[in-house]
Amino acid sequence: MRNYTLAVLITAVFAISGAVFGAEPSQALANEPAKRDLMDADVAFYGDNILTFAEQPSTVNFVAIKGEKIVFVGLRKNWRGNVERIVALKDKALLPGFIDAHGHISFHARVASLANVASPPVGPAKDIAGVVQELKNYADSKKLAKGQWIIGMGYDDSLLTEQRHPTRDDLDLVSNTHPIMLMHVSGHLAAVNSKALEITNINAASKDPAGGVIRRYVGTTKPNGVLEESATYAVRKYMAASNKPFEEIHRGVLDYARYGITTAQDGAASIQGVQLLQASAAYRKFPIDVVAYQIANERYLNEADLALPVLAPYENGFRVGGVKMVLDGSPQGKTAYLTKPYEVQPHGQSADYRGYPIMPAASVDALFNKFISADIPFLAHANGDAAADLFIQALAKSLEGKKPKDHRSVMIHAQTVRDDQLDSMAAMNVIPSYFSAHTFYWGDWHRDSVLGLERGSRISPTASSLAKGITFTVHNDAPIVPPDVMRLVWATSNRLTRSGQVLGPDERISVEDALKAVTVNAAYQYFEEDRKGSIEVGKQADFVLLSANPLNIQREDLLNIKVLQTIARGVTVFSAENALPE
């Protein structure tokens, strides 16, 4: 992750819109009506590249805002009012602010201070020797006290030259005295050194926890340092909190804003994480909106005093939107729960290995019923098609015999959903939120090692969903990959892998439909379609200013488009240098 200087962050927060918009003075219009009929606005945007994504689109070249709201959308010749500044867009494009359909904003904020052991283009590590060197450099730069943990984020066995996970032996080359933990890029596995295993008391006698695996050296019970799913919980707790957590959270929020995001998510936040976000927002109002989904697991079935989250309106830019469940693991980490075996099995697994669920079907059924009955919106992580079966079956049981509910339950990732599952999802108004950035970051890996050509070509089936009339969203799952929305739109519409091959050409969708997935569709997912997602009168003044109109260029060239400005609730929260020079 990149670190940005305090000066840049301060500029992003306090940029004054008139100074960077290249504003021109308001001009009186011909045949102006009487004063009593005039509208008042703070800022108006004028140009031919305004994409509203309104349900009933019309020709628009003028958008006016007052305070936090949009007060006019239409043609400039029809505007009758006073406005302090008119912004000439020229060849730039104005769109609704991007909405993060799924991510982990507090985790994203935290990992910025950890060792970056990701592979290009996110980090520097190309092989295990590179991982080891990066950890040594990090430890030297931090001047760690004796016994202090060394934490790294983002290693990716699929991209390392050796195409394997670092083991305790590799990490012991960094230190035998400092415990070391590396989080896999998926967030579902970890690699630790011998000192970390000693501290957490994970040894040859340790049994695999429910919903997790302690990997062993072949032919022995000795842990090799690689931990899967719930087995990582023993070391996750050592990811020390920042000594300035409020400032750290706000830096993460501002990093989202520079990608054009005006609503961000913290999916699977602990109760303590929710409280931290609330306190951070009270300390200083969030410049963009942040919605948290509290983690929900079997504790909700076993502990009677565990209260459901309290849903309330935004306060200081923060609200709790519901709960998040995790039904399986990661496809690139080969822990996702599939109905058919993996193309190439993980080291030490049998030929019929197909991953595993995080919790049994009975628990999934009970949790879904609990939240549906309580009208608590939920997200449920389901990467493999077997996990998707758990989701669909549990939801069908939960809805049976009940009055129709506008539940909008969200299947997070939905990477390998089959066509028959899409039919069931359409019938129950399930919203799949696809991690479609996978087509670029791990598309080659899925095709060649995880799923094979046929199944791999169907990951994130956006075109199939569109054909069935399913409302879907797409996301980056930051910090798994950076919250770069334009790269996400590029990946969704092109489906180009790292090697430059198209993975599943029939599942490509138009740039416009990809943009709708991160604007109007995402607002619907959040139950906020009445106030966000499109540029319409009465909605919140959330916008992103792009360097060019993404509908007027070849979709292969989308990565050339830059986010110039992010405006949330009518206030500029990010501005690139010379965004709109006068």
**pLDDT tens-digit map of 261-286:** 999 999 999 999 999 999 999 999 99
Residue of 97, 109, 108 whose CA lies nearest to 485: 97
- Specify the higher pLDDT residue, 580 or 448: 448
Query: What's residue 28's pLDDT?
Result: 34
Question: What is the mean predicted confidence (pLDDT) over 200-218?
Answer: 92
Return the pLDDT at 56.
84
The whole-number average pLDDT for the span 188-211 is 93
Q: What is the pLDDT of residue 241?
A: 67
Report the alpha-carbon distance of residue 168 to residue 155 in Å, rounded. 14
- CA angle (576 as vertex; 570, 582 as ends), nearest 5: 80
Banded pLDDT at 192 (limits 50, 70, 90):
very high
- Is residue 170's pLDDT more than 90? yes
> Domain spanning 114-236 has what CATH number?
3.10.310.70
Looking at the DSSP bridge assignments, the partners of residue 212 are 229
Residue range 123-134: mean pLDDT, rounded = 93
How far apart (Å, rounded) are the C-alpha atoms in residues 321 and 105? 14
What does the alpha-carbon distance between residue 84 and residue 39 come to, in Å, rounded to a whole number?
12
Whether the Cβ atoms of residue 323 and residue 383 lie closer than 8 Å to each other: no
Alpha-carbon distances of 484 from 106, 195, 327, 477, 481, rounded to whole Å: 16, 36, 26, 10, 8
pLDDT at 1: 37
| Pairing mode, strands 431-434 and 473-474 | parallel
Helix, strand or coil, per DSSP, at residue 48: coil
Above pLDDT 90, what percent of the chain?
Answer: 79
Torsion over CA of 530, 533, 534 and 540, rounded to 10 degrees?
60
Q: How confident is the model over 237-252, as a mean pLDDT?
A: 85
In CATH, the architecture of 1-95+534-582 is Roll (2.30)
User: How many C-beta atoms lie closer than 10 Å to residue 84's C-beta?
Assistant: 14
**Residue 197 confidence (pLDDT) above 60:** yes
- Across the range 499-524, mean pLDDT stands at 98
Q: What is the pTM of this model?
A: 0.86
Q: What is the pLDDT of residue 578?
A: 67
If you average pLDDT over every residue of the chain, what do you get? Answer: 91
Kindly list the strands in the beta sheet with 543-546, ordered across the sheet, starting from the edge strand earlier in the chain: 93-96, 543-546, 563-568, 571-575
Please state the rounded mean pLDDT for residues 355-372: 96
Average pLDDT over residues 155-165: 92
Residue 18 confidence (pLDDT) above 50: no
Of 134 and 5, more confident: 134
pLDDT tier at 288, thresholds 50, 70, 90: very high
Structure confidence at residue 240 as a pLDDT band (50, 70, 90): low
Q: How sure is the predictor about 145, in pLDDT bands with cuts at 50, 70 and 90?
A: confident
Residues forming CATH 3.20.20.140 domain(s) in the chain: 245-532
**pLDDT at 4 exceeding the cut of 80:** no
**Residue 559 clears pLDDT 70, i.e. is over it:** yes
Question: Where exactly does CATH 2.30.40.10 map onto the chain?
Answer: 1-95+534-582
Phi, psi of 447 (to 5 degrees): -65, -45
Residues in a beta bridge with 65: 43, 70
Count of residues making up the chain: 582
pLDDT, residue 514, reads 98
CATH 3.10.310.70 residue spans of the chain: 114-236
Q: What is the DSSP letter of 450?
A: I
- Tell me whether residue 533 is exposed, middle or buried, using C-beta atoms within 10 angstroms of its C-beta: 0 to 12, 13 to 18, 19 or more: buried
The distance in angstroms from the start CA to the end CA of the chain is 33
Say if residue 350's pLDDT is above 80.
Answer: yes
- pLDDT score, position 187: 85
Q: 19: left (phi > 0), else alpha (psi -120 to 50), else beta?
A: alpha
On the question of pLDDT at 31 being above 50, the answer is: no
pLDDT band at 24 (very low <50, low <70, confident <90, very high): very low
pLDDT at position 337: 98
pLDDT at 168 over 90: yes
**Position with higher pLDDT, 56 vs 408:** 408
Confidence bin at 242 (pLDDT 50/70/90): confident
What 3-state DSSP class applies to 279?
Answer: helix
* Domain formed by 245-532, architecture: Alpha-Beta Barrel (3.20)
Model confidence over 423-447: pLDDT tens digits?
999 999 999 999 999 999 999 999 9
Average pLDDT over residues 103-129: 90
Per residue in 374-394, pLDDT tens? 999 999 999 999 999 999 999
pLDDT for res 79? 96
How far, in whole angstroms, is CA 152 from its chain's centroid? 20
Q: Check residues 1 and 399 and name the one with the higher pLDDT.
A: 399
Query: What confidence category does residue 17 fall into, taking pLDDT thresholds of 50, 70 and 90?
Result: very low
